[in-house]
Structure 1
Amino acid sequence: MGRRRGNLTTVARSRLGIQAECAAWCRIPKIPKPPRTLHSAADGGPLRPALIRPLGALGVAGVALLWPFVAVLALLAALEDWAEQLLSSKDRAKARAQRREAEEQRRAIAAQALDQPFDGDWTAAAGQFLLRWYGHSSHPKRLLVLTENRIVLAAPPSRVSIRQTERMVVVAEIPASEAQVEDPLIGAHPSDRLRIRFADGSWLTVITEEERSEIHKHLMRLPRLGSSGDVDTL
């Protein structure tokens, strides 16, 4: 994809000319169907990313050719419980602890509504921004960039299968006076979820490519717990 993992802040600075504090590739959950009148009033833009281009489709078809290997992996997964019985008691305890941690993380995400795309109010700032998300760019991912005074979203103008970093441009900006990025699970559970909270209290969820992305780590260093920007947490 042309990404330079672990150095996205530098990428944002060099390719976009932004004095970035941190950056991370992210996506949003599936957008639910909005009321028709509100969708039309927001220019009736797309609510899904564009279909994959032919080159990408060929890649997907190539993966389908690997189905025998997938079947083998499925068989191995089915044998997981049996294999666990052969592990030492220490290894079994570690595996159980990992499962408990994953379940606790899932519950924490649900408790903070981070499994929801937004707060549900289409008339508020987050809902209106969500209605225009794919109108800004039909690419499924965004480079979320935090600066001292704004939130920046960058992406290729249209969906691409390769070289997304080289083709990205700024597609949206939100002043820090209007929104902030926060990590509701900061200090509790590592996760791939972040929240963009607007000044009116509305919010939307973004999912980063990795747990504890550059942005998660940046938020952990801030004096304010899990937030960036000048808007007070509501």
Structure 2
Amino acid sequence: MTSRGDQRMISDRLGVRAEAAGWCEIDKIPDPPAEVLQAAGNPRLRPARMPPLGMLGTAVGALFIPFVMLLSLLDSAREALERLFESKKDEKRRAREDEKRRKAIVAEQGLDRVFDGNWSGAAGQFLLRWYGHSSHHQRFVVATEDEIVLAAPPKRVSVGRDKRMEVVARLTTGQAMLFDPFLGEFRTQLLLLKFHDGSWLRLTTEEFRSELHMYVLRQTSPGN
């Protein structure tokens, strides 16, 4: 559940009351057929390049990498000690089984693609307008009681995305819903934006088993 502070920020910025929210990205949009592209008005299919300030920030951030690596090594050492008290054999076996099941679901449902592949479907048509709404590479996805709201800065930014974001698209619950194709079985970043006609668009959340995942699982649990 979104904290009160986050709810207030989302309400002030976007004018909606969030049940859950999080930043997401999509994979590279494949090139549509020429006639589809032309019919859609030759829309933008790629995010804008990172602004020069963002490149500078990335370079400066690299100076802190050794410190971060040290913390990571210390954390890894702690985790290694904890694993000494666990059954490595059982853990590896379960991990292999989970990965095998996950890959089977991905292959069966075609989840290695950014969308279902039908450019005439609702998801395909929405995908064609994705970067026309905003050239930023991410979307802040907000689930409310009766709609899914997508927000982003109008143009790509390297810092201050929260302060610059605005609503770029709205989808009512009759148009689309968020869906976890793994039904919570795996700790994943993958979510589907599933449209009323069965077409879908794949989102990648910033966090594994994000707030949006937990919201989806609450909505699909027995009794809801």
- Compute the TM-score of the two structures, normalised by the length of structure 2: 0.80
Superposed CA offset, 1:59-95 (max 9, x none) = 334466789x6xx99xx9xxx9xxx9xx858464376
- Which residue is 1:176 aligned to? 173
Cα deviation for residue 136 of structure 1 reads: 0.3
1:187 equivalent to 2:184? Answer: yes
1:138 equivalent to 2:124? Answer: no
- Which residue is 2:28 aligned to? 30
Query: For 1:38, what is the secondary structure of its paired residue?
Result: helix
Q: Distance in 1 between matches of 2:41 and 2:4?
A: 37
Percent of aligned pairs with the same amino acid: 44
Further displaced range: 212-221 or 127-136: 212-221
Cα deviation for residue 171 of structure 1 reads: 0.3
Q: Distance in 2 between matches of 1:190 and 1:168?
A: 28
- Which residue is 2:89 aligned to? 93
Further displaced range: 200-209 or 107-116: 107-116
Q: Distance in 1 between matches of 2:221 and 2:44?
A: 36
Q: CA RMSD in A?
A: 3.1
Cα deviation for residue 96 of structure 1 reads: 2.3
- Compute the TM-score of the two structures, normalised by the length of structure 1: 0.77
Further displaced range: 50-59 or 103-112: 103-112
1:197 equivalent to 2:194? Answer: yes
Superposed CA offset, 1:29-52 (max 9, x none) = 111111122112212121111000
* Paired residue type of 2:38: S
- Which residue is 2:146 aligned to? 149
Gaps of 5+ in 2: none
* Paired residue type of 1:19: R
